[in-house]
A and B are shown apart, each in its own frame.
Chain A
Amino acid sequence: MVDTGRVADTGGAVESGEVTGSGELARSGRVVDGLRVYRMISAMWIRSTMAYRASFLMTTLGNFTATALDFVAIMLMFSRVDALGGYTLPQVAFLYGLSSTAFGLADLLLGSMEKLGRRVRDGTLDTLLVRPAPVLAQMAADQFGLRRLGRITQGVMVLGYGLATVDIDWTALKLLLMPVMILSGAGIFGAVFIAGAAFQFVAKDASEVQNAFTYGGTTMLQYPPTVFATELVRGVTFVFPLAFVNWLPATYVLGVPLPLGLPAWVAFLSPLVAVGCCALAGLAWRAGLRTYQSTGN
């Protein structure tokens, strides 16, 4: 209910801006339009967040602490053992940092999508539908949480620690693979957020299923693939391709064998997998939006 008030503000900001009237143009430049809407709404949310600066600092720090604590737990494990599934602490830190940074980026950009179910339930999604701007962009930018930088900061720090301590024979190709991995990983997680939101059009209050794939996915990827049962690794490689976020490309950088006896070139497929996932998620989103029937207001 409080949201509605805030949403009204959002509406004001959007409608008084340059977006008005761009509905006709939307057919031709939907992506550009979407990005502009996204930028405007998120900027508005950043301004509003900054109104409660102390709370912003605390939530960002909270975000940082939360994610930092699960790495502390991993460090505690390594205070008792030298290796986990044959991976050393620096190697696990490397996997962790990659997964956490990629997930953090996706969460920053699209994390608000998980609130879709609530909007369907309380009818406030209708407000977004009548506006002359792409719903996906409005939904993703809604309540844009700059505090999520806390998670990215932590991921980058762990990645930095991993890179500083891990033993890698650097080549140009391995260096190039680093940003490619992070961006593809963010793309794959982003697709999960969008597909999860699409699912919420059907299962209105089951948003928590999404957590199993988003938070559960990133938690799983923070540990070496050798820890998990083969069927589980197979599942996140072929059915639900989260393994392409870090497990598979990282094996090439670390110089360890790929899981499941996969050929070496599979380590370079991440960008393709990310594009494929995003395309599928986009289709799912459209299908979901088409099935949407307002609950009434």
Chain B
Amino acid sequence: MGSGRLYLAVAAGGFRRYATYRAATAAGVFTNTVFGLILVYTYTALWDEKPHLGGYDLAQAVTYVWIGQSLFKTLANGGGGVESELMERIRTGDIAIDLYRPADLQLWWLAADLGRAGFELLGRGVIPFVFGALVFDLALPTDVSSWVAFLGAVLLAMLVSFGIRYLVALSAFWLLDGTGVAQMVMFVGWFCSGMILPLNVFPGTLGEVVRALPWSSLLQAPADVLMGHADPLGTYAFQAMWAVVLLAAGRMVQRAATRRVVVQGG
């Protein structure tokens, strides 16, 4: 009970903190909209050549673009969440202070990241999406249940996303400067989440592999749930499986890492 309130407060803090950067939010909305436009035109050229590519029609492909732009910051497909701050604290040794707090390290950062993601969804996600819906023909469901199912998939995606980035951040315990790892994992994640090209367009074995990786939870899964392309329950099971695996791995690595801090003496 009490600790539940604590993490809620941490999440609210994460939300408020990102909400203070108003100009940055406006700038982000603008940039996501520009990138959305560029992608819409390239996809249109692609789907003109090959209608029903990957099982999508043009309207669905364009919808996919705007879902991607709205969730990009929320799910941090290309990185950029609380993990950069966590890495900085590990590098400087401030992490020792965090370990003294009467709170669980992983849950603390998860709560902060969920607060951040919540703000990004409302602050940065909604406007590009509405812009896309007003300017282009989107394939959006009209029933409430599809939208609720979509939000469920987004929430699970937030957990998977955090699970990946938490592992990346913990690598700083061994590497001190974890920027290289962070960068590489983020770029791979960007590609494998389907930000450039929907994963169902990826051909053959490559397609099967990327669709089985955790990153497919971050954009492909929620998009397919919203557009009625995938069964929500099966999708949830897939996402939840990855969330559990990644969070458990994070916990194990965290235990090994904190032992290191004690050895070093903070």
Chain A positions near chain B (C-beta within 8 angstroms): 2, 52, 54-59, 61-63, 65-66, 69-70, 72-73, 76-77, 79-85, 203-209, 211-212, 216, 219-220, 223, 226-229, 232
Contact = CB atoms under 8 A, between A and B. Distances in A.
Which of B44, B88, B196 has most A Cβ within 10 Å? B196
Contacts of B248: none
Contact of A65 (B30, B31, B181, B187): B187
A61 B35 CA distance: 25
Given A73-B196, A212-B34, A227-B41, A207 B27 contact: yes
Contact of A228 (B24, B41, B175): B41
Which of A61, A62, A211, A226 has most B Cβ within 10 Å? A62
Given A58-B184, A220-B38, A205 B21 contact: yes
A83 B46 CA distance: 8
A84 B203 CA distance: 18
B203 A79 contact: yes
Interface string B182-200: 0110011011000011000
A56 B183 CA distance: 12
Given A57-B180, A66-B190, A70-B196, 20 more contacts: A54-B175, A55-B179, A55-B180, A56-B180, A62-B183, A66-B187, A73-B191, A76-B202, A77-B46, A79-B203, A85-B45, A203-B23, A203-B27, A204-B23, A206-B23, A211-B31, A212-B34, A216-B35, A223-B41, A232-B41
A204 B24 CA distance: 9
B38 A216 contact: yes
A62 B24 contact: no
B203 A206 contact: no
Interface residues of B, number: 39
B184 A65 contact: yes
Given A2-B88, A205-B23, A83 B49 contact: yes
Contacts of B190: 66, 69
B28 interface: yes
The A contact surface, by secondary structure, is helix
A206 B180 contact: no
A57 to B, nearest CB: 8
A209 B31 contact: yes
Given A59-B179, A203-B23, A227-B45, A80 B31 contact: no
B42 A76 contact: no
A69 B196 CA distance: 9
A66 B38 CA distance: 18
Nearest to A82: B49
A57 B30 CA distance: 33
B37 A232 contact: yes
Contacts of B179: 55, 59
B58 to A, nearest CB: 14
A84 B49 contact: yes
Contact of A84 (B45, B92, B184, B202): B45
Q: Can you list the 3 inter-chain pairs with the closest CB atoms, starting with the nearest?
A: A58-B180, A62-B183, A206-B27
Contacts of A232: 37, 41
Contacts of A206: 23-24, 26-27
Given A207-B27, A232-B37, A58 B196 contact: no
A72 B92 CA distance: 37
Contacts of A226: 45
Nearest to B203: A79
Given A2-B92, A204-B23, A206-B26, A80 B53 contact: yes
B237 interface: no
Nearest to A228: B41
A65 B34 CA distance: 23
